[in-house]
Amino acid sequence: MISSLSNPLVHSWAKYRLKSEQQQEIEIATAAFEIITSAVRSPKRRRIEDWIFERQVMPHIDAVAKRKIKHIGVSGMNIHDGSQSIGDVYSWHGRFNEAMEWYGRALTWE
């Protein structure tokens, strides 16, 4: 009885623990990107508090964006979901080159 219950558990554990480093990096990058983009999703009406929050987390947005870009095209990595949100944030903060790059990604993967 125990062995029949433990086989799926052992299989799941092994599958989780034996993932390649690259696969783990992709999963971490994806999770971080989803967290950042959900935190900065833009309401129709912007408030000063939104701008202040984004300014405070901008180093994190930059780091997560770079990490996500590194894995585009690897293992079916999907980036379009939050690309417009990231583009909006860069635009609102006067970083128009980065904004255009992210808008381009949003259009490419839609």
**Tens digits of residue pLDDT in 11-35:** 566 666 666 777 778 888 888 888 8
The one-letter amino acid code at 23 reads: Q
Long-range contacts of 66-70 (CB under 8 A, 24+ apart): 67/25, 67/28, 67/29, 67/32, 67/33, 68/29, 68/30, 68/32, 68/33, 70/29
Whole-model pTM over 0.75: no
Least confident of 2-6, 85-89, 91-95, 105-109: 2-6
| Residue 94: strand, helix, or coil | coil
Return the number of other C-beta atoms located less than 10 Å from residue 27's C-beta.
13
With 0-12 CB in 10 A as exposed, 13-18 as middle and 19+ as buried, what is 87?
A: buried
